[in-house]
Amino acid sequence: MDAAQLLQFAISGLTVGAIYALVGLGFNLIFNATDVINFAQGEFVMLGGILASIAIGQWHWPMWLAILTTIAAVGLVGALVDFGAVSRVRRGSVMTIVMITLGVSVMIKTAALLWVGPNPLYFDPFTAGPPLRIFGAVVQLQALWVIGTGAVVMAGLGLFFSRSALGREMLACAIDREAAYLMGIDVRRMVRISFVLSAALGALAGVLITPLTNATYDQGFTLALKGFAASALGGFGRSGSAIVGGLALGLIEAASVVVMPSGWKDSVALLVLILVLVVKPSGLLGGRAERRHTQAL
Amino acid sequence: MQRSLVALLMLAWLILPGLLGSNSTLSLLVFAAINLVQVIGLSLLFGFAGQISLGQAGFYGIGAYVSSLLATRLGVPPALGIIAAALAPAFLAYLIGRPILRLRGYYLAMVTAGTGLILHTVFVEWGGLTGGYSGVAGIPPIAVGSFAFDTPRSMFYLTTGFAILILFLAHRMVKSSYGRAMRTTRESEAAARSVGIDVSRLKTEVFAVSAGLSGIAGALYAHYIGYISPETFTIDTSINLLLALVIGGVGSLWGGAIGAVLLTFLPEWLHQLQNAYGIVFGALVIVLLTIEPDGIVGIVKRLAETWRRRGNQKLDERTV
């Protein structure tokens, strides 16, 4: 394999890796605020792709408006998921939460199927134009959009959590909910916001990737698994590790396509997840604290 | 009293196909029985031993493919193929169970879902063996001697009879000391260990049993409709099985039975709404879990309890 091919795989790996990282961050946001793993996380990504496709393709909205509206609308869905389902069983067991978010997932997926049918939807890349050639590698413009937006959003989230008052309040909840509550932080509000943010992140991931891969009503769960894998690979509960995990997963998938038919690539990523969790449940980057965390989950 | 009730139920079972007349309802009952075998397996694993699995459709698929391919490629009689269909997924589950079942909660859910997805990929991608997306066609019906179970009516007796047998055996299992060990493991693994239960062995064994039951269900399904393809064995199937169990009631075998019947009949009852049953199904789960964690069985129990108490109250008033 020469340098051009290597670059090609690196870029396609980073592109999907950025998507997984965004989904993984979405998991982390909600998990940090509530200890809930939202099994409907992938449906936010699917909704993002489908809503944007409809707004652009059928309603002929300008792209920026369609994208912003999509992200806002899915954010609202996130709030509804919290309000209508998850917050009702906040004190429930882990299994109750798994079931209820699976129920939400099935509902959203069915609604999408009834609304747009089983066929894949898509819209044109953000900017038209022929693919770039960089050192012999062919790079789709949309891939650059994915990587670039992903990087900007992740950096923005980092700033949000370290600099803004709201972000720091959310972080305080993540570290110790009771202490945060005693400090006068409105924990309920933080939880709601984390659902909205998480859904919006998912929608953004869906919007970014749809021009490259299409959007279908049933793609959500696989994406959720990959996003979870991204978070778990790095070690749960830390945003930075979701990014590392996501990119690693993307690169592994891209590399797997070299040695086996592309149909297997989902399996390769999941096999890596299973092996890592079985060998080291705290994730590759996790220390002892996370290990305890995993066992308690 | 109880013996006459059993006799009455037996009679109802025998004459039911004649009363129904329509083959489509009979066919649904066959599917309900097949689902029941699977949901009972899941009930043992999740409801009694406390281990979640989102990968049952993978084992269901292994059973279906093993029995179908043995029959179509090697001419193995389906009655024998079903045994292989039970053993193959059980063996796989036994192999992967020990490492996987060390994980808990969310992690176990995701890892079993991943296992199911990988198995689905195998069904799709191992085209030379499984036929890829087009699947396996021309699967012969189950036959014993010269009698073939090739009508809804004969399959009704076979599958419901088998489902009742499984229900009975599962009942025996959960009432035994092994069943108590399962429940102890569910409540607290530390406690289970402290009384000498080999927790990881128990979890692995129950996982293998549930996978084996899914495998049998897969074989029954394949030989009944004569055609299989990967789209039957998706993560959706696994999720629906689990949600069905939750709707019926996790804590009892009856809950599993009710869930299996609902899972089969709900899409039919709601067929005017096309695929909307997913919305009803999801909503049912959310509503049930918020009011009664033990599903329909829990609600029925609670109603019976209040009713009984009210009766007692009246009795008390009268005695006063």
Name chain A contacts of B284, Cβ cutoff 8 Å: 103
For residue B148, what are the β-bridge partners?
B143
Q: What is d(CA B39, CA B56) in angstroms, rounded to the nearest whole number?
A: 9
Is B88 within the bounds of a domain? yes
The answer to whether the Cβ–Cβ distance between B290 and A88 falls below 8 Å is yes
State the DSSP code for B311: H
Nearest-by-Cβ selection for B125 from A92, A263, A270: A263
Q: Give the mean pLDDT of B171-184.
A: 95
Residue B299 lies in a domain: no
CATH no., domain A8-119+137-296:
1.10.3470
pLDDT tens digits for range B11-70? 888 888 877 777 788 889 999 999 999 999 999 999 999 999 999 999 999 999 999 999
To probe the interface with A, which of B48, B239, B286, B288 has the most A CB atoms within 10 Å?
B286
With beta carbons less than 8 A apart as the criterion, state whether B240 and B281 touch.
yes
Over residues A110-121, mean pLDDT? 92
CB contact under 8 A, A229 and B114: yes
Which residue in chain B has the smallest CA separation from A105? B282
Query: If pLDDT is split at 50, 70 and 90, which confidence band does A284 have?
Result: low
**Backbone region of residue B170 per phi and psi (left: phi > 0; alpha: psi in -120 to 50; beta: other values):** alpha
Does some domain include residue B74?
A: yes
* Contacting residues for B310 by C-beta, under 8 A, at least 6 apart: none
Number of structural domains in chain B: 1
The phi and psi torsions of A218 (rounded to 5 degrees) equal: -105, 15
Q: Could you tell me what percent of chain A has a pLDDT over 90?
A: 41
State whether residue B240 sits within 8 Å of chain A by CB. yes
The reported pLDDT for the residue numbered A140 is 87
C-alpha B295/C-alpha B252 separation (Å) is 10
> Cβ–Cβ of A103/B236 closer than 8 Å?
no
Of B111, B242, B274, the CB nearest to A114: B274
| A291 pLDDT higher than 50 | no
ipTM of the complex: 0.90
Tell me whether residues B275 and A266 touch, CB distance under 8 A.
no
**Residue B121 at interface with chain A, using a CB cutoff of 8 Å:** yes
Selected for mutation to probe chain A from B106, B270, B271 (highest A CB count within 10 Å) is B106
Give CA B167 to chain center in angstroms: 10
Residue among B114, B236, B279 whose CB faces A274 most closely: B114
Q: What is residue A260's predicted lDDT score, i.e. its pLDDT?
A: 84
* pLDDT band, very low/low/confident/very high, at B271 (cuts 50, 70, 90): confident
Q: Among candidates B204, B200, B228, which has minimal Cα distance to B85?
A: B228
How far away is chain B from the Cα of A126, in angstroms, using its nearest Cα? 32
How large is the C-alpha radius of gyration of chain B?
21
Residue spans of the domains in chain A: they are: 8-119+137-296
- Say yes or no to pLDDT of A211 above 80: yes
Asked whether residue B186 is assigned to any structural domain, the reply reads: yes
For residue A292, name the pLDDT band (cuts at 50, 70, 90): very low
Amino acid, res. A172:
A
The whole-number pLDDT of residue A290 equals: 44
Are A39 and A102 spatial neighbours (Cβ–Cβ below 8 Å)? yes
**B246 in a domain, yes or no?**
no
Distance CA B150, CA B167 (A): 24
Q: Does B127 touch chain A (CB under 8 A)?
A: no
B130 touches chain A (CB under 8 A): no
Residue closest to A112 by CA, chosen among A195, A238, A218, A30: A218
Each residue's pLDDT tens digit, B137-147:
999 999 988 88
Selecting from B106, B125, B283 the residue whose C-beta is nearest the C-beta of A37 gives B106
Residues of chain B contacting A107 with CB distance shorter than 8 Å: 278-279, 282-283, 286
Q: Does A85 sit within 8 Å of B278, measured CB to CB?
A: no
Residue B274 has pLDDT above 70, yes or no: no
Q: What is the pLDDT of residues A217-245, one digit of tens each?
A: 999 999 999 999 888 887 776 667 788 88
Residue range of the domain that includes B114: 2-233
> How far, in whole angstroms, is CA B108 from its chain's centroid?
19
Residues of B in contact with A233 (CB under 8 A): none
Q: Is B147 on the interface with A (CB under 8 A)?
A: no
Q: Does B258 touch chain A (CB under 8 A)?
A: no
Distance CA B299, CA B293 (A): 9
